[in-house]
Chains A and B, each alone.
Chain A
Amino acid sequence: MTLDPVLLSRVQWAWVVAWHILLPAFTIGLASYIAVLEALYLFTSRQIWFRISGFWIRILAVSFGMGVVSGIIMPFQFGTNWSRFSDAAGDVVSPLLAYEGLMAFFLEASFLGVLLFGRRLVPSWAHFFAALMVAFGTLLSSFWILATNSWMQTPQGYKLVDGRFEPVDWFAIVFNPSFPYRFLHNVTAFYITTAFVVMGVGAWLLRRARATDDARMMIRMALDLLIILVPLQMFLGDQHGLNTLEYQPAKLAAIEGRYDTAQPAPLTLFGIPDDAAATMRYAIEIPYFGSLILTHSWNGVIKGLKEWPMDQRPPVAPPFFAFRVMVGIAFIMLFVVALGQVLRLRGQLWNSVWYLRLCQWVAPLGFVAVIAGWTTTEVGRQPWTVYGLLRTADSVSPSLTGADVVLSLACYVVVYLIMFPTGIAFMAGLVRRGPQEEEFKPEIIESGLPNRPFENAARAATDS
């Protein structure tokens, strides 16, 4: 058996980035939520906003800390495992990554400290301003990361010199064709993910009759946001799909599970893809619907993967199934949210215990959808790192052997399996503690270390 350093490096990348992405997915949504709560507190001075905000700030602290720790690993992956990519594309992508790093650190070093520990040290407008800046900063961070990713998917604004990408037009590089869609689709996904967590936590508190006013408010706010964002996300996803059809048709063919070009194309609901035989087995199809959804006409052409040579096709199964998981979750979410609104209109929301339990069950679904969507887009763009221009196989560090990567991957697996469950347990502990009448105790403020979010929250958790 030979170990393939390319495949193993991809697995390692997937492992470290998949864990990492969960934290921004939560942190970005939470930071904006906290900014809204702080604004409400500033303008109404009602204690409930203060309590809810304080509760989520403690959880944000842990989440942010873990995001930083797992984020330090990431830039080094470009060098250890993907050195040929770094050499070829470094001139274009590295400043985008560096901007992300600068912004994240700038944020961590300044406003986050005020937000986490400054409640009693600064006036409430300043505290609100810090919350706003943290929310803005997390969005800026994702702006740069997604610009990097989008450029790799739909590159432009460069010139090729001896097989290396050189920047020509920075505006074109940053605002490349897939970037606006990817950015909006991701940020909306992060907001939805967080809102479902907030709703689930609210439901949990309510079922235990803990901090019931706060819990109800969390559920109400989440439902109001979600009834707008979930349908909006479906629209954005559709737009993103059309963009993919235009710029990455092979990825779209894989998502659709379409090997043969068809006009009109049916919509394949389910099937078992067979890449070797280039056919979809046991396909369940709805005639015309593929064309309708993707070209918005009854008779649109959808290209099949057979239009591309074998060595330029992505594997079908991962994007095909991951996409269906993501879309399936979207419909479940829509159903849950619509149901919640109906119950609320009828005034039955607070005593429908079964619905509160449902909210708890669906709380983690956003994370699953984020990972599924990410799998769809990242496996779907194979076999390229820079789409159509630089192959994944030509991006990996030439010195690596399969055994090297097996060893490093095993280390990452072990350490992450210790670190993440422990961190998640901390956050669960903070949730169990629930919203508190008292904000942070003074001695913690005294230790108000701008750079110490994780530990203080951890301590807050263990004190209880």
Chain B
Amino acid sequence: MVLDLVPVWTALLALAVFYYVVFDGFDLGVGILYGFVRTEADRRTVMNSIAPVWDGNETWLVFGGLGLLVAFPLAFAIIIPAVYFPILIMLLALVFRGVAFEFRFKQGALRRFWDGAFCGGAIVATFAQGVVLGAFIQGFKVSGRHFTGTSFDWVGPFPLAIGLALIFGYTLLGAGWLVLKTEGNLQHWARRVGTVCLMLVMAAILGVSIWTPMLHGEIAQRWFSWPNIAFLSPVPIITALIAIGEWYALKHQHEFMPFLGAIGLFLMSFVGIAISLWPMIVPYHYTLWQAASSPSTQAFILIGTLFLLPIILMYTAWSYWVFRGKVSETLGYH
């Protein structure tokens, strides 16, 4: 009897994706906010708040991509070509953001350009990720084991709307991070921006929650049929409670709660999507089990993962610990 590793890999992939969304999400959000900060001193503070951690966060994108390939190669082979251009745009925007991070410290005429590239790269990368998510939920044209649509199937109201929504979502995460890491006027500003983003995010969550069941009858069936509606009602209720708490935390003097609340909203959205799509990995065509690689493949890579991943996580936790506390314009990074 071969042990079924699909649940293990589903959990690992979910962890990698969620980790990426929250952690690169907040530093992309900070990147977006960076474009709206007025003084050079504040800009430096904003930059310093993510300097030690952003590229470690970004590496989780590779974990997500490779995780999908190694555990569910069929899903990788169908989904990635379907979002050919969003992936391209996202990768290049991330490259630009990363390079801008390095090069803006070269003083001179180009600084303004790299500042723009930093903020613009973050916005474009976020939007592209939202489009990928939207296209994923919407579903792909599949025949046999191939994606058979065009490279522009992702151009549609739903994916583009999700792209836009994710910009607000990441900005909310970024604002939460800035509340945690900064003080004074900048923190106050982050609270106000966060409040605006929270309203937009809640509007987006509400909109998507109505729109998604309209896309596919099965999803509506899953959420609104009896007794599911009773079992699943905690999802919207908890989301609403977190939103209220987030609102309260942003208005009052909580330091850590706004960031935590934003993560909570992302977690609930993540859970919502998972409930809608379970057990599909290529929505409406292939389940996790149908798209899984061979048990031998999953076992072979699991050995190394279980050994190296905890070390990577511990090391990451340690580096966040080292850079805990408030950042300032001068102290610390640059």
A, B from the same assembly: yes
Indicate if the CB atoms of B301 and A80 lie closer than 8 Å.
Answer: no
Of the candidates B84, B95, B145, the one whose C-beta lies within 8 Å of that of A69 is: B95
Asked if A105 is an interface residue, CB under 8 A from chain B, the answer is yes
Instruction: Give Cα A398 to B70, complex, Å.
Output: 21
Size bracket of the B interface? 35 or more
Hey, what's the 0/1 contact readout for A434-464 against B, CB within 8 Å counting as 1?
Answer: 0000000000001101111011001100100
Given contacts A95-B301, A98-B301, A452-B52, contact A90 B92 (CB under 8 A): no
Indicate if the CB atoms of A419 and B51 lie closer than 8 Å.
Answer: no
Asked if A122 is an interface residue, CB under 8 A from chain B, the answer is no
Q: Which residue of chain B lies nearest to A74 when distances are taken between CB atoms in the complex?
A: B62
- Contacting residues of chain B (43-89) with chain A, CB-CB under 8 angstroms: 51-53, 55-56, 58-59, 61-63, 65-67, 69-70, 73-74, 76-82, 84-85, 87-88
Instruction: Give Cα A92 to B98, complex, Å.
Output: 32
Q: Which residues of A contact B294 (CB under 8 A)?
A: 91, 166-167
- Contacting residues of chain B (275-334) with chain A, CB-CB under 8 angstroms: 293-294, 296-297, 300-301, 304-305, 308-309, 311-312, 315-316, 319, 323, 332-334
Asked if A97 is an interface residue, CB under 8 A from chain B, the answer is yes
Of the candidates A84, A105, A400, A449, the one whose C-beta lies within 8 Å of that of B319 is: A449
Indicate if the CB atoms of A95 and B319 lie closer than 8 Å.
Answer: no
Residue in B66, B67, B301 whose Cβ sees the most chain A Cβ within 10 Å? B66
Q: Which residue of chain B lies nearest to A447 when distances are taken between CB atoms in the complex?
A: B333
Instruction: Give Cα A167 to B129, complex, Å.
Output: 33
Asked if A235 is an interface residue, CB under 8 A from chain B, the answer is no
Asked if A397 is an interface residue, CB under 8 A from chain B, the answer is yes
Instruction: Give Cα A166 to B101, complex, Å.
Output: 43
| Nearest CB on B from A253, distance (A) | 33
Indicate if the CB atoms of B305 and A102 lie closer than 8 Å.
Answer: yes
Indicate if the CB atoms of A94 and B69 lie closer than 8 Å.
Answer: yes
Q: Which of A106-114, A301-309, A363-371, A379-387 contacts B (4 or more CB under 8 A)?
A: A106-114
- Contacting residues of chain B (4-28) with chain A, CB-CB under 8 angstroms: none
Residue in A110, A411, A450, A451 whose Cβ sees the most chain B Cβ within 10 Å? A451
Q: Which residues of A contact B323 (CB under 8 A)?
A: 449
Instruction: Give Cα A400 to B316, complex, Å.
Output: 39
Q: Which residues of A contact B147 (CB under 8 A)?
A: 83, 397-399
Hey, what's the 0/1 contact readout for B98-133 against A, CB within 8 Å counting as 1?
Answer: 110111011100000000000000000000000000
Instruction: Give Cα A115 to B98, complex, Å.
Output: 22
Asked if A404 is an interface residue, CB under 8 A from chain B, the answer is yes
Indicate if the CB atoms of B91 and A83 lie closer than 8 Å.
Answer: no
Of the candidates A76, A87, A397, the one whose C-beta lies within 8 Å of that of B74 is: A87
Given contacts A83-B147, A91-B297, A167-B300, contact A109 B69 (CB under 8 A): no
| Nearest CB on B from A23, distance (A) | 14
Indicate if the CB atoms of B99 and A86 lie closer than 8 Å.
Answer: no
Asked if A422 is an interface residue, CB under 8 A from chain B, the answer is yes
Q: Which residue of chain A lies nearest to B96 when distances are taken between CB atoms in the complex?
A: A415
Q: Which residue of chain A lies nearest to B108 when distances are taken between CB atoms in the complex?
A: A462
Instruction: Give Cα A401 to B63, complex, Å.
Output: 29
Indicate if the CB atoms of A400 and B55 lie closer than 8 Å.
Answer: no
**Majority-rule SS of B interface residues:** helix
Q: Which residues of A contact B296 (CB under 8 A)?
A: 91, 166-168, 170
Q: Which residues of B contact A404 (CB under 8 A)?
A: 84-85, 151
Of the candidates B51, B58, B81, the one whose C-beta lies within 8 Å of that of A80 is: B81
Of the candidates B92, B106, B293, B319, the one whose C-beta lies within 8 Å of that of A450 is: B319
- Contacting residues of chain B (229-269) with chain A, CB-CB under 8 angstroms: none
Instruction: Give Cα A415 to B117, complex, Å.
Output: 12
Asked if A75 is an interface residue, CB under 8 A from chain B, the answer is yes
Q: Which residue of chain A lies nearest to B60 when distances are taken between CB atoms in the complex?
A: A105
Asked if A388 is an interface residue, CB under 8 A from chain B, the answer is no
Indicate if the CB atoms of B69 and A98 lie closer than 8 Å.
Answer: yes
Given contacts A72-B91, A90-B293, A106-B308, contact A400 B59 (CB under 8 A): no
Q: Which residues of B contact A80 (CB under 8 A)?
A: 80-81, 84, 87-88
Q: Which residues of B contact A151 (CB under 8 A)?
A: none
Instruction: Give Cα A454 to B56, complex, Å.
Output: 13
Q: Which residues of B contact A68 (CB under 8 A)?
A: 55, 59
Instruction: Give Cα A397 to B312, complex, Å.
Output: 34
- Please name 19 pairs of A and B residues whose Cβ atoms are closer than 8 Å in the assembled complex, sorted by A: A72-B91, A75-B69, A76-B65, A78-B80, A79-B79, A80-B88, A83-B78, A83-B81, A83-B147, A84-B77, A87-B74, A90-B70, A95-B301, A167-B296, A401-B150, A404-B84, A408-B85, A408-B88, A458-B106
Residues of A within 8 A of B (CB): 65, 68-69, 71-73, 75-76, 78-81, 83-84, 86-87, 90-92, 94-95, 97-99, 101-103, 105-106, 108-110, 166-168, 170, 397-401, 404, 407-408, 411-412, 415, 418-419, 422, 446-447, 449-452, 454-455, 458-459, 462
Known: A75-B66, A90-B297. 17 other contacts (CB 8 A): A72-B59, A79-B76, A83-B81, A87-B146, A90-B69, A94-B293, A95-B297, A102-B305, A110-B311, A170-B296, A397-B81, A399-B84, A400-B151, A401-B150, A419-B95, A447-B332, A449-B319
Residues of B within 8 A of A (CB): 51-53, 55-56, 58-59, 61-63, 65-67, 69-70, 73-74, 76-82, 84-85, 87-88, 91-92, 94-96, 98-99, 101-103, 105-107, 145-151, 293-294, 296-297, 300-301, 304-305, 308-309, 311-312, 315-316, 319, 323, 332-334
